[in-house]
Amino acid sequence: MSDTPISLLERLRLRPDPASWQRLVDLYTPLIRDWLRRQDVQPADVEDLTQEVLGAVARELPQFRHDLRRGAFRRWLRTVTVNRLRNFWRAARLRPAVGGPAFEEALDRLADPDSDLSRLWDQEHDRHVVRRLLELVEPEFEPNTWRAFRLLVLEGQPARDVAAALGTSVNAVRIAKSRVLSRFRREIEGLVD
């Protein structure tokens, strides 16, 4: 991964590299799979459709421009997912008992940025991205650095207590927090606003 403070989205748009693509796949595959499962996509089709969504993201990301509005990438990803899902169901209509009016209504609600389903997508997206990015950056830190960050930031323990538990100084705990948050912010820029 690049040490420069360029976001994942910008790296993929300007200087795509295998590690950045892998980061995006690792980050978004579980979220997309989960959403597809909840849209009554058969288990046998979830993987193929997830790959279609990620393939569309790979093809279309160079043209994506973050418009600096809150949730721009999240909305764009939701649109890509809805479009692939809509195409899937249209192609599957030749088979009986697939899709139907209720499904079209759900897709329309998901496409509508003001709907309850879109708001749910936004909330789940943000929670998923934060949790998953923390999992992905954790191996980049020494165990004590991560432990200090986890205890201080994620568990909300006072810096003094964390320092005592780890046998270090309060300053070292704050430095650990700063290092992890700095790295995390570089990764999450543009993904969650």
What residue ranges define each of the domains in the chain, with the CATH number in brackets? 8-140 (1.10.1740.10), 141-193 (1.10.10.10)
Q: What is the pLDDT of residue 74?
A: 87
Contact yes or no for 177/145 (Cβ under 8 A): no
- Residue the block writes with tokens 């418009």: 67
Q: What is the pLDDT of residue 182?
A: 93
- pTM score, whole prediction: 0.71
Task: Enter the tokens of residue 186.
Answer: 């570089």
Among 13-17, 62-66, 113-117, name the one with the lowest average pLDDT.
Answer: 62-66
Q: What is the mean pLDDT of the chain?
A: 84
Instruction: Name 160's Cβ contacts closer than 8 Å, sequence gap at least 6.
Output: 170
Contact yes or no for 2/140 (Cβ under 8 A): no
pLDDT band for 10, please (50, 70, 90 cuts).
confident
Contact yes or no for 138/132 (Cβ under 8 A): no
Q: Is the pLDDT of residue 189 over 70?
A: yes
Q: Is the pLDDT of residue 6 over 60?
A: no
